[in-house]
Structure 1
Amino acid sequence: MARREIDLNRCLFHYTNITCNRCQEICPQNAIHNREIDREKCNDCGLCTAVCPTGALQSSTDYDSALTAVQNLTPQVLMCQKVASNAMPCLGAINRRLLWALAEKQPLAIDTSRCSACNPAVHSWLEQEIKACNQALSAAGKAPIKLVHVKDTPPPPPKVARRSFFRSLFHAASDTATEIAQAQTERQFAFDPVIWLSKQAVTPCPLFPSLTLHSSCTACGLCTMLCPEKALQLDTTDTDRKLRFHPLKCTACSLCVNNCPQGSLKLLPRFNGLTEFPLEAGHPPISPANSDNSSAFNLQRG
């Protein structure tokens, strides 16, 4: 029985002009309904975590520590608990931007060899995300993510020396009591991929969204107040005003677009390099019309 919950304080449901059912739509177990998770149905695959735009999913998995542990491996290898006992239960929580953060600076391998038989939905998801990340890595002249198969290596039972036998027996009762207490305590971890990405020295790439700002903007600042990930920042001085956009923090939730009183904002699926929009005399620059990203934006998972 998986222990997952949705933090309603972070969920988009209480905002106006926005509807988000990403977690419910992607769940292969149909375990999510009306922002509640059926623990009997949930298999802890983590796909809901991968697509949530606000990091509202809480679980018993410490994804932050698990990703950091991968970075400390040489070479880096993403594995699930079927391969390594200290890994995350399932790789479903991984999306293309997390893959980029891991693979941008050093080679990355991932073991998905068991995913198809274990959870077909996770296997399809990872295929899609790895393909998208590899395209970005290729465009940047970096090594693609390698698919590997890591052999199961269960640790051998620990050997107890004769002198240590009675000492171990003496501590067994207290250790067992501690383990029981820990098992009865449900530890929940909040994981927001944006927060983890912000701690990495990640270079924005086309896997991240982009923003355009039109001349109708009045610099009211509503978008900066609404953005749940603080991807927008309004800088105002006596002589200069500009809107700053942080692509690493943007999850394309569309809160800013749908609630802008002037309809001045537009999201694009691929980052185009623009991060600052000067607001001079009420006429900020418009993204070039001939940009490849000028097509309408469609929300995409991950």
Structure 2
Amino acid sequence: MDLLKWVKVMDQKMTSLRVEPNLCAHLISPKSTCHSCVDHCPTKSISFSKKQIEIDNHCLACGLCSTVCPTNALAFNRPSLVQVLSYLVHQCEQNEQVYLHCEKMPVSDKNVITVSVPCLGMIPREAWVSILNKCQNLTIYHTGSGCTFCEITTGETIWKKELDAGEKIAGSSMKIMSDITCSAKPKSFDTDRRAFLSSFFNEIKATNKLAFKELLGGSEVLSYQEKRQENTLSKVKRELDEVSLHLYEKMTNESALPYMNKRALFLAQLKEIEILQKQKDIRLPTITDDCNFCGACSILCPTDALKMDRENNQVSITLNPAKCVDCSLCEDICFTKSISLQHMQNKTLLKQEQQLLVKGSN
């Protein structure tokens, strides 16, 4: 790896938020109705320029924007969602009782096993589904006063909304307690030291993963302008990038594509729990026969979920269900209003490709 790439990796890890403007529906098209990050930021620190998502110095690094962003154009790094979930599952496997709490509500009893996050609102519904299925001995610690005096003013609304959605999907409830009974049995290890070492090695591990992805290539998200200008050479490069990303995911057990971070968690649970497959917790695009095949939906789709092909006197639009994250951009920009998002069974996400519309070309 050259020095420039290493500097890029370190810069990504030094910032709490990783910004990927090419995934932002609002920047891709002014017709997009998505501005969730701006609406839910407690300090109004997020704004849009012509080609970038701007974060000012008032950012609290609460992670709420990454929760509400459907495409993960904003992703929280410190800690990442995968790190939080992995650590939670590990703690629940190793201990009889674990408490999850916000950093603003510390637990004074050192004999209690706890996991803290910047804000409970940084945990999206997809992660709650995993937590509810894997961490039956986990309890949320939340004081009676709640988040009334917290500077993260929108945090309580978001975490309760996301938890409620996760509970409905998983079909179970999370225990919430406002008081913790002090443990009579002291721990036989230094929790502060272990927490420090765990955090230190997690940072090294996360940095190495970023470095590995940069070394393999394929870590950049293309803008829709770059997609339109593709030639034979760029198509070959994209195919090689896909191989690199697949290798990265196999080696690190994490999604290499930002927009798949939350979706990958849900897919993992979907493959394990059969009853979950029959539920209708997702929305996917459908296309009516009055579509004029202008191609705007496939060109502007930030996650490449939609694809239009012209071959053998036929034109077709196909959908990769797993990549569709319900950002609504295709529905917003369709001039003929031929696309609409409809609730479908979750098992549809497990299909490799779904043909939405085919017509003979003129």
Match for 1:134 among 167, 170, 181? 167
Using a 3 Å threshold, how does the CA distance of structure 1 residues 57 and 191 change in structure 2: closer, same or farther? farther
Corresponding position of 1:122: 155
Secondary structure of 1:9's counterpart equals: helix
Regions of 4+ moved over 6 Å: 235-240
CA-based RMSD of the aligned residues comes to: 4.1
Tell me, in whole angstroms, the C-alpha distance in 2 between the residues paired with 1:116 and 1:156: 27
Tell me, in whole angstroms, the C-alpha distance in 2 between the residues paired with 1:213 and 1:202: 28
Match for 2:344 among 271, 275, 290? 271
Residue pairs, 1:234-253, within 5 angstroms:
243-246=318-321, 248-253=322-327
The one-letter code sitting in structure 2 at the alignment partner of 1:98 is A
Tell me, in whole angstroms, the C-alpha distance in 2 between the residues paired with 1:109 and 1:156: 18
1:121-152: CA deviation from partner (whole Å, max 9, x where unpaired): 312222222222222333xxxx3222246859
Tell me, in whole angstroms, the C-alpha distance in 1 between the residues paired with 2:89 and 2:191: 26
The one-letter code sitting in structure 2 at the alignment partner of 1:89 is P
Corresponding position of 2:42: 28
Corresponding position of 1:194: 260
Query: 1:7, 1:57 within 8 Å by CA — same for their partners in 2?
Result: yes
Please list every run of 5 or more consecutive structure 2 residues that lacks an aligned counterpart in the other structure: 1-14, 108-112, 194-199, 211-255, 271-276
Query: 1:210, 1:267 within 8 Å by CA — same for their partners in 2?
Result: yes
Tell me, in whole angstroms, the C-alpha distance in 1 between the residues paired with 2:309 and 2:101: 43
Using a 3 Å threshold, how does the CA distance of structure 1 residues 99 and 207 change in structure 2: closer, same or farther? farther
The one-letter code sitting in structure 1 at the alignment partner of 2:300 is L
State the percentage of identical aligned residues: 25
The one-letter code sitting in structure 2 at the alignment partner of 1:210 is L
Corresponding position of 1:172: none
Match for 1:259 among 304, 308, 333? 333
Q: CA deviation at 1:77?
A: 5.9
Secondary structure of 1:228's counterpart equals: coil
Moved more, 203-212 or 92-101: 203-212
Residue pairs, 1:57-76, within 5 angstroms:
57-59=74-76, 60-74=78-92
Corresponding position of 1:145: 174
Superposition TM-score, scaled by structure 2 size: 0.54
Superposition TM-score, scaled by structure 1 size: 0.63
Q: CA deviation at 1:265?
A: 1.0
Q: CA deviation at 1:42?
A: 2.2
Secondary structure of 2:21's counterpart equals: coil
Residue pairs, 1:1-302, within 5 angstroms:
3-4=16-17, 6-16=19-29, 17-34=31-48, 35-39=53-57, 41-59=58-76, 60-74=78-92, 78-81=100-103, 82=106, 87-104=116-133, 107=136, 109-114=138-143, 116-117=147-148, 118=150, 119-138=152-171, 143-148=172-177, 151=180, 155=190, 192=258, 194-198=260-264, 200-203=267-270, 205-217=279-291, 221-233=295-307, 243-246=318-321, 248-268=322-342, 270-272=343-345, 276-277=354-355, 279-281=357-359
Q: How many residues align?
A: 248
Tell me, in whole angstroms, the C-alpha distance in 2 between the residues paired with 1:280 and 1:21: 33
Tell me, in whole angstroms, the C-alpha distance in 2 between the residues paired with 1:53 and 1:252: 7
Query: 2:22, 2:28 within 8 Å by CA — same for their partners in 1?
Result: no
Please list every run of 5 or more consecutive structure 1 residues that lacks an aligned counterpart in the other structure: 159-178, 283-302
1:75-130: CA deviation from partner (whole Å, max 9, x where unpaired): 58644444578643222211223212433466474515045254453122222222
Secondary structure of 2:121's counterpart equals: helix
Query: 2:46, 2:54 within 8 Å by CA — same for their partners in 1?
Result: yes
Corresponding position of 1:161: none
